[in-house]
Amino acid sequence: MKITRKNFLHLTAAGAAGSLLAPRAAAGQARSTKATKATGLAIRGTTDALTAFITNTGLSSMPANVVAEAKRCLVDGFGVILAGSTVKGSAIVRDYVRSVGDRKEASAVGAGGFMTSAAHAALINAASGHAMDYDDTQLSTTPDRTFGLLTHPTVPALAASLAVAERKKASGAAFLEAFLVGFEVECKIAEAIDPEHYNHGFHSTGTIGTFGAAAAAARLMNMPAPAVRHMLTIASSMSSGIRVNFGSMTKPLHSARAAQNGIVAAELASRGFTGGDDGLDGRWGFFEVFGTGVDLDRLIPVLGKPYTIVSPGTSFKPYPCGSLSHPTMDAMLKAVVEHDLKPDQIKAVRVRAGSNVLEPLRYKIATNELEAKFCLPFLMSSLIIRRKAGVREFTDEFVASAPVQQMMPRVTNVFDQKIEAQGFDKIRSVIEIDLTDGRTIVQASDDRYRGGPEKPFTREELREKFTDCAQLTLNQGAIAKALDLIENVERLKDVNELVRVL
């Protein structure tokens, strides 16, 4: 059932705990491709549903494939946190926390690690986790939810649950349970909110990641239902992050603040701090204010039925940059390798794509590694020059190098109406490469996303990615130990055993 500002005033409210009946949207007007039924829902329908899920869901009730996929997300998530801890923006966040905090509750892992408060540890680790834009991406279930533009779901929930679990000396099973609860809450809210939330300029990882982090913290803190309702409302007011920050240090800060704010919301509510107990619902609730509406059928009846982590699942990134570029990058790499292309053979490159790709990847020429993550000319240039685009290519030095700066102007982004008309449920593009000998090579991207459910990373590939990331801060012995502990995390009596290795 879709509730929007337009039809809100037509809903019938029967008291504070009454019901709201929403008329069905006219054909062609509903954003969801699935038909929905008008059903009676309590005025706090979404808040109540999320509260019940957060307070009542346990690891023992979760299917085995959900637990297995969660551990894959943890391998990926911990890897990108370790790698991201080495970049300049993460160092600045660590320096800031050192200057304001002296509590020793939880650890900043990776480079320059130290102990601080749980909220600040979550801030640091989540900043590191998104610093390289290498963390996983939530998949959409229908074409109206643009592929690749929901959330980066693991890092906010992981950073928050790790910090609180470390402070409480919680078991690995309790940590894993909290992570999965937070992950599910985050993903279901992202699916349910009107797509205008993202299209208007909000960055869902920051705004909705706050709820995932709060849910994870609440589960570990065993908060009672009344406090959880207030926590969700406090989180609604702390939700933040806008897309103008893409290509700057503030984009990772969205994930960082989501993790930190989630813990703060939980800690305040656990102490009796109030925010109102229907913060997601109604005319002035989160869904209306931040997204112009919500499709309740994507949230209330489907929490954990199935878990988003397995259906439709998430995608793991093969490159440390915006996920909307990855099929195009694979297409360029395929063309370069198959035709054995050298940089001096390439006269011009045209990347043809729709607005879903070209608008977020908005930089025409990158001047630093952060802009490079959202710059198709750089991404194409890196693959032409080095035949790879990994953590060692995303540096200010490589971006500013003469070969890269000379190649980028040869790459042009072209809006393609035919591609646009196919919709946004897939990431589609076509590369045209003009060679100096007069030939033109045309290579279309593959609809199957490498690292996604249709073309998933094997266990070996995922461990290779972790190793590549972790070797920036850990020795080989620690890497092997960390992988073993993560893949058997539910057996740990104390999650601090894993933290010490990291």
**Hey, where are the domains in the chain?**
48-317+490-501, 323-444
At 26 the pLDDT is: 29
Distance (Å, whole) CA 391 – CA 378:
14
Distance (Å, whole) CA 364 – CA 412:
8
Assign 299 to helix, strand or coil: coil
Beta strands 114-116 and 41-42: pairing type?
Answer: unpaired
Q: Within 10 Å of residue 56's Cβ, how many Cβ atoms?
A: 11
Domain 48-317+490-501 annotated CATH 2.60.120.560:
no
Q: Which runs of consecutive H residues, i.e. helices, occur in 57-171?
A: 64-84, 88-100, 118-131, 154-168
Distance (Å, whole) CA 340 – CA 78:
36
Q: Say if residues 190 and 219 touch (Cβ distance below 8 Å).
A: no
Distance (Å, whole) CA 17 – CA 345:
70
Instruction: List the chain pLDDT tens, one digit each, 502 residues.
Output: 555 544 443 343 333 333 322 322 322 233 333 333 223 333 358 999 999 999 999 999 999 999 999 999 999 999 999 999 999 999 999 999 988 877 899 999 999 999 999 999 999 999 999 999 899 988 877 777 766 668 999 999 999 999 999 999 999 999 999 999 999 999 999 999 998 898 889 999 999 999 999 999 999 999 999 999 999 999 999 999 999 998 889 999 999 999 999 999 999 999 999 998 789 998 899 999 998 888 999 999 999 999 999 999 888 999 999 888 999 999 999 999 999 999 999 999 999 999 989 998 989 999 999 999 999 999 999 999 999 999 889 999 999 999 999 999 999 999 999 999 988 878 899 999 999 999 999 999 987 778 887 889 999 999 999 999 999 999 999 999 999 999 999 999 999 999 999 9
Q: Which of 223, 203, 304 has the alpha carbon at shortest distance from 265?
A: 223
Distance (Å, whole) CA 223 – CA 293:
28
How distant, in Å, are the alpha carbons of 23, 243, 370, 382, 406 from that of 367? 51, 19, 8, 14, 12
Handedness of CA 393, 398, 400, 402 (dihedral sign): negative
C-alpha of 67 from chain center: 19
Q: Say if residues 140 and 102 touch (Cβ distance below 8 Å).
A: no
Q: Which of 453, 420, 141, 181 has the alpha carbon at shortest distance from 295?
A: 141
Distance (Å, whole) CA 499 – CA 217:
17
Q: Which CATH superfamily is domain 323-444 in?
A: 2-methylcitrate dehydratase PrpD (3.30.1330.120)
Distance (Å, whole) CA 125 – CA 159:
6
Q: Say if residues 354 and 424 touch (Cβ distance below 8 Å).
A: yes
At 148 the pLDDT is: 61
Give the CA angle between residues 444, 449, 486 to the nearest 5°. Answer: 155
Assign 380 to helix, strand or coil: helix
Query: Residues 26, 29, 34, 38: what is their CA dihedral angle, to the nearest 10 degrees?
Result: -40
At 11 the pLDDT is: 41
Q: How many helical (H) and strand (E) elements, i.e. helices and strands, does the chain have?
A: 23, 12
Which positions ≥6 away from 345 have C-beta within 8 Å? 435, 436, 437
